[in-house]
Amino acid sequence: NAGVTQTPKFRVLKTGQSMTLLCAQDMNHEYMYWYRQDPGMGLRLIHYSVGEGTTAKGEVPDGYNVSRLKKQNFLLGLESAAPSQTSVYFCASSYGGFGEQFFGPGTRLTVL
């Protein structure tokens, strides 16, 4: 099992460009999450999903959109990237709402 994978690993964008980060899990988990990790801020929840076709806002959702068209995939989109979105993005999944969350390796995004 690959667990949770993220694509791409690194990306540099210019302000205003758009991109999509892909998270995939092969553990048949219902719940999936997107976090951003910034120095001194810890991990902050952007959006999450409790099942295929559902999404919900987390703590810092502005500037991001998500989709969960397939159970195993959770996409995070940036429509118009801003320097404030420079961060490391982590995806996670869990079987249930109270279960252990399994994390991906992260995507390092720089917005110039």
- Which spans of this chain sit near other proteins (rule: CB under 8 A)? 4, 31, 33, 35, 40-45, 48, 50, 58-59, 90, 92, 97-98, 100-106
User: Tokens 């999903």 sit at which residue?
Assistant: 49
Instruction: Name the residue nearer to other proteins (CB basis): 54 or 80.
Output: 54
Q: Where would I find the beta strands (DSSP E) of 1-112? A: 4-7, 10-13, 19-25, 31-38, 42-49, 56-57, 65-67, 73-78, 87-94, 102-103, 107-111
Smallest gap from residue 99 Cβ to other proteins (A)? 10
Smallest gap from residue 91 Cβ to other proteins (A)? 10
Instruction: Name the residue nearer to other proteins (CB basis): 81 or 92.
Output: 92
Instruction: Name the residue nearer to other proteins (CB basis): 5 or 17.
Output: 5
Cα–Cα distance between 6 and 59 in angstroms, integer? 21
